[in-house]
């Protein structure tokens, strides 16, 4: 276990370490943006004393495309290709939230079948996103092979998305009023085959990752989030649930058909990197279970879309709303303001990475061994586009 | 939520209460009372979660509308607190002592809208844009197209694929409603 020598710590002045780089006791390095151990296009500016991090500053801006500004200059319907880009591994949550916000403002109620299809889409997306994360988490501790397995299985899920929506990554499938199409013939059978493969993979990952002595030695006790930090830092999702706090938007504010599904939020107690991995691992099993529940109970026919006015000239009544959903990382929300014109007045996206990658990461990194920074970063599960919208 | 508004009305100059849904409402408070109200909501009404903090630019009225979105995990209510501040010399009291992530939102608002939060840690540091010398880009008067045309050089032979222009050309070749 890493045991830092506290006497080498710099003095704290106004809550920040007083680091004199000329003293040659410290060195400053950049972790990212081009680094296998960083999540997406961001970087950490680390100040080290030996192998120990004494200060961490997060830097973003490497992929800033001004999504929120762009969307103010596009019609309501033109924004669908834009919202998908605000979390590349799981764009469906953005599509759903944007569509749900417009429906709330315009007073549109999607048909029941569309709600079930949307819910299936979101749970498949959650599983696919967790697959990408799990590979990253294992890879950050040197187990690169697991990443190859999970990305392969993510691809099986992307094949299903392609069949369902026409797109592998960006679907633009959930539009206001419902979804663009029903499920293809025999989709349920092919989905079940993929879910079985994913289940088998998860069993193997439990053996080689969660029971791996090296992974346990490095992940247990790494990046512990105190309970007091949860509300003070606005932490949500698995990062919060690993701290024995049972909060889940799907349960607390059921949307779509979550109130008709049988599931309980998964929690842990240790609140460290290992516990967060275990919580997400069980949530992956939960995704598979929810997909099966949805397929078994969803209506097989009926309308999947509500007629809309001509979307090229669509004016949404003035007003504002905030809708939210539980994405893989926590509470994701869309705040939308309409002034009655053809364009949004303001769109503000609340992504959980905003706080997880900045204040939380900067706090947890202090005192961590440089070799564990990548594992800690991935265990917080952050996506930079949510920060630099 | 209506009862909450009545309780707040007895203590603060809150106005314009609007219930969007059963679990979502908005209200407005003057700038000088905002920090006290937000502190009261956090400490006495259970709104312990700062969901996000942002601004809307109403250039035609000469104001920025700050929006503090707060959530109460106990009652499962979400409350949006509106605070209107002038666009000229826009400053606001910092709430970085109430939530750790507030300083980051304030740093972003300083860069994107030019709203200052004196005393907020790192508020003057660059957030996304390094070496930006134009007006803050999220202000309504900032023209993204003019900036892009001035700054970047498109490849020769590129044409616009704007679906609105394309559909208008095909559906209404002789003009019509735009």
The residue of B22, B27, B48, B51 whose CB has the most chain A CBs within 10 angstroms, and thus the best one to mutate to test that interface, is: B51
| B113 domain residue, yes or no | yes
Residues of chain A with CATH 1.10.645.10: 67-351
Q: In what order do the strands lie in the sheet with A52-59?
A: A27-31, A43-49, A52-59
Given a cut of 70, is residue A215 above it in pLDDT? yes
Element (H, E) at A13: strand A12-13
By C-alpha distance, the chain B residue nearest A342 is B178
Which residues of A fall within a CB distance of 8 Å from B99? 231-234
DSSP code, position A317: P
Q: What pLDDT is recorded for position B123?
A: 87
Distance CA B13, CA B22 (A): 23
Segment A258-262 mean pLDDT = 92
Which residue from B85, B73, B74 is spatially nearest to B28, judged by alpha carbons? B85
Chain B interface mutation, best of A43, A100, A320, highest count of B Cβ atoms under 10 Å: A320
Name the DSSP letter for residue A258.
Answer: G
What was the pLDDT predicted at B85? 93
Pair A248, A236: CB distance under 8 Å: no
Are B86 and B32 contacting, i.e. CB atoms less than 8 angstroms apart? no
Cα distance between residue A223 and residue A355, in whole Å: 15
Closest CA relative to residue A223, chosen from A132, A140, A128: A140
Separation of alpha carbons A170 and A81, rounded Å: 8
**Quick one: closest CA in A to B96, which residue?**
A232
Please give the residue of chain A at the shortest CA–CA distance from B46.
A231
- For A347-369, the pLDDT digits (tens) are 999 989 888 888 898 888 888 88
Q: How far apart are CA A380 and CA A372, in angstroms?
A: 13
Using CA atoms of A121, A64, B56, A110 in order, give the dihedral in degrees to the nearest 10: -10
* Residue A153: φ, ψ to 5°: -70, -30
pLDDT single digits (tens) A83-101: 888 888 888 999 999 999 9
Give percent above pLDDT 70 in chain A.
Answer: 95
So what's the pLDDT on residue A5? 63
For residue A15, the model assigns a pLDDT of 59
* Calpha distance B17→B7 (Å, rounded): 12
Facing B137 at nearest CB: one of A69, A337, A359: A69
When CB atoms are compared, the residue of B54, B76, B100 closest to A232 is: B100
Closest-CA residue of B relative to A352 is: B51
Work out the pLDDT band at A160, boundaries 50, 70, 90.
Answer: very high
Other C-beta atoms lying within 10 Å of the C-beta of residue B175: 7
| pLDDT mean over A305-327 | 90
Closest chain B residue by Cα to residue A252: B76
User: How far apart are alpha carbons A9 and A344 in whole angstroms?
Assistant: 50
> In whole angstroms, what is the distance from residue A287 CA to residue A284 CA?
5
A61 contacts B26? CB cut-off 8 A: no
Neighbours of A42 (CB within 10 A): 27
Residues A102-108 have a mean pLDDT of: 91
pLDDT for A39 beyond 90: no
Distance CA A387, CA A41 (A): 11
Q: Do residue B163 and residue A78 have CB atoms under 8 angstroms apart?
A: yes
CA closest to B136 among chain A residues: A69
Q: Are A374 and A38 in contact (CB under 8 A)?
A: yes
Has residue B175 been placed in a domain? no
Query: According to CATH, what is the number of the domain A67-351?
Result: 1.10.645.10
Q: For position B140, which CATH number holds?
A: 3.30.460.80
Q: Do B123 and B110 touch, CB atoms closer than 8 A?
A: yes
List the structure tokens of B101. Answer: 């992530």
Kindly list the residues from chain B whose CB atom is less than 8 angstroms away from the CB atom of residue A331: 51
- Mutation choice for A interface testing from B48, B67, B101 by most A CBs within 10 A: B101
The string of pLDDT tens digits covering residues A217-238 is 999 988 899 888 899 998 999 9
Residues of chain A with C-beta less than 8 angstroms from the C-beta of B51: 234, 322, 324, 331, 333, 350
Least confident of A43-57, A125-139, A339-353, B61-75: A43-57
Answer whether B49 sits within 8 Å of A234, measured CB to CB: yes
> Using a CB-CB distance cutoff of 8 angstroms, which residues of chain A are in contact with residue B49?
231, 234
Q: Is the peptide bond before A350 cis (omega within 30 degrees of 0)?
A: no
pTM of the predicted model as reported, rounded to 2 decimal places: 0.90
Do the beta carbons of residue A91 and residue A97 sit within 8 Å?
Answer: no
Name every chain A residue with its beta carbon within 8 A of the beta carbon of B103. Answer: 359
Domain range spanning residue B11?
2-155
User: What pLDDT is stored for residue B174 in this prediction?
Assistant: 78
Residue A367 has which token pair? Answer: 């005192």
Amino acid A14: pLDDT = 62
**B11 to chain A nearest CA, in Å?**
25
Mutation pick from A81, A232, A234, A310 vs chain B, by most beta carbons of B within 10 Å, is A234
Contact between B24 and A350 using a beta-carbon 8 Å cutoff: no
* Chain A, window 298-357: residues with a beta carbon less than 8 angstroms from a chain B beta carbon: 312-313, 319-322, 324, 331, 333, 335, 337, 345-346, 348, 350, 354-355
Residues of B in contact with A232 (CB under 8 A): 99-100
Q: Cα–Cα distances in Å, from B127 out to A37, A59, A170, A388?
A: 22, 8, 28, 9
Give me the number of domains chain B comprises. Answer: 1
Banded model confidence at residue A312, pLDDT cuts 50, 70, 90: confident
Chain B residues touching A64 at Cβ < 8 A: 128-129
CA–CA separation, A79 and A380 (whole Å): 29
State phi, psi for A54 to the nearest 5 degrees. Answer: -105, -15
Cβ of A41 under 8 Å from any chain B Cβ?
A: no
**Is residue B174 included in any domain, yes or no?**
no
Residue B38 counted as domain residue: yes
The pLDDT, as a whole number, for residue A281 is 94
Quick check: helix, strand or coil at residue A334? strand
Using alpha carbons, select from A76, A18, A135, A125 the residue that is nearest to residue A381: A135
Among A residues 195-234, those touching chain B with beta carbons less than 8 Å apart: 229, 231-234
Q: What is the spatial distance between Cα A90 and Cα A126, in angstroms, rounded to a whole number?
A: 7
Q: What is the CA radius of gyration of chain B?
A: 21
**CB distance B164–A78 less than 8 Å?**
yes
Strand, coil or helix: A172: coil
Closest CA of chain B from A73, distance in Å: 9
Place of tokens 């990548």: A374
- Flag if A359 and B101 touch (Cβ within 8 Å): yes
Residues of chain B with confidence (pLDDT) below 70: 176-178
DSSP string, B9-28: HHHS--EEEEEEETTEEEEE
- What pLDDT, on the 0 to 100 scale, is given for residue A114? 93
């Amino acid at each position: 276990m890493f045991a830092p020598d506290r006497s080498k710590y710099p003095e704290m002045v106004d809550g920040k370490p007083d680091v004199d780089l000329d003293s040659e006791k410290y060195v400053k390095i950049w972790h990212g943006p081009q680094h296998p151990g960083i999540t997406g296009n961001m970087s950490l500016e680390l100040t080290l004393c030996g192998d120990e991090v004494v200060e961490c500053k997060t830097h973003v801006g490497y992929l800033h495309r001004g999504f929120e500004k762009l969307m103010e200059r596009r019609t309501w319907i033109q924004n669908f290709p834009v919202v998908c880009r605000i979390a590349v591994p799981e764009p469906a949550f953005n599509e759903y939230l944007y569509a749900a916000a417009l429906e709330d403002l315009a007073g549109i109620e999607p048909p029941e079948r569309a709600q079930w299809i949307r819910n299936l889409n979101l749970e498949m997306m959650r599983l696919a996103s967790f697959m990408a994360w799990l590979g990253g988490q294992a890879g950050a501790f040197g187990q690169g092979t697991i990443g190859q397995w999970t990305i392969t299985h993510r691809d099986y899920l992307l094949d299903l998305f392609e069949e369902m929506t026409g797109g592998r990554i960006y679907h633009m499938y959930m539009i206001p009023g419902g979804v663009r199409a029903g499920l293809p013939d025999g989709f349920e059978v092919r989905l079940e085959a993929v879910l079985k493969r994913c289940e088998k993979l998860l069993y193997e990952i439990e053996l080689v990752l969660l029971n791996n002595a090296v992974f346990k030695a490095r992940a247990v006790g790494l990046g512990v989030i105190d309970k007091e930090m949860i509300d003070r830092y606005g932490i949500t999702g698995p990062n919060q649930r690993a701290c024995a706090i049972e909060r889940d938007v799907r349960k607390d504010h059921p949307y779509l058909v979550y109130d008709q599904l049988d599931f309980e939020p998964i929690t842990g107690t240790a609140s460290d990197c290992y516990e967060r991995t275990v919580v997400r691992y069980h949530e992956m099993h939960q995704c598979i279970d929810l997909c099966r529940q949805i397929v078994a109970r969803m209506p097989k026919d009926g309308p999947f879309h509500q007629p809309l006015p001509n979307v090229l000239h669509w004016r949404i009544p003035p007003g504002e709303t905030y809708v939210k959903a539980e994405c893989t990382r926590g509470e994701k929300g869309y705040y939308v303001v309409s002034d009655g014109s053809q364009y949004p007045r303001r769109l503000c996206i609340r992504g959980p990475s905003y706080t997880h990658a900045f204040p939380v990461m900067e706090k947890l990194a202090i005192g961590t061994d440089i070799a564990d920074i990548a594992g800690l970063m991935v265990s917080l599960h952050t996506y930079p586009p949510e920060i630099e919208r | 939520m209506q009862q909450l508004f009545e309780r707040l009305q007895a203590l603060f100059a809150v106005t314009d209460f609007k219930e969007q849904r059963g679990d979502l409402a908005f209200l407005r408070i003057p700038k000088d009372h905002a920090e006290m109200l937000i502190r009261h909501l956090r400490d006495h009404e259970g709104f312990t979660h700062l969901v996000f903090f942002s601004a809307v630019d109403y250039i035609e009225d000469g104001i920025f509308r700050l929006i503090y979105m707060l959530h109460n995990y106990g009652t499962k209510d979400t409350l949006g607190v509106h605070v209107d501040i002038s666009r000229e010399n826009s400053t606001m009291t910092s709430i970085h002592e109430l939530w750790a992530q507030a300083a980051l939102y304030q740093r972003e608002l300083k860069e994107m809208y030019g709203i200052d939060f004196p005393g907020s840690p790192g508020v003057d540091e660059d957030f996304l844009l390094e070496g930006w010398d134009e007006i803050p880009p999220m202000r309504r008067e900032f023209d993204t197209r003019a900036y892009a045309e001035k700054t970047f050089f498109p490849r020769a032979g590129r044409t616009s694929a704007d679906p609105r222009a394309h559909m208008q050309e095909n559906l209404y070749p002789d003009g019509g409603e735009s």
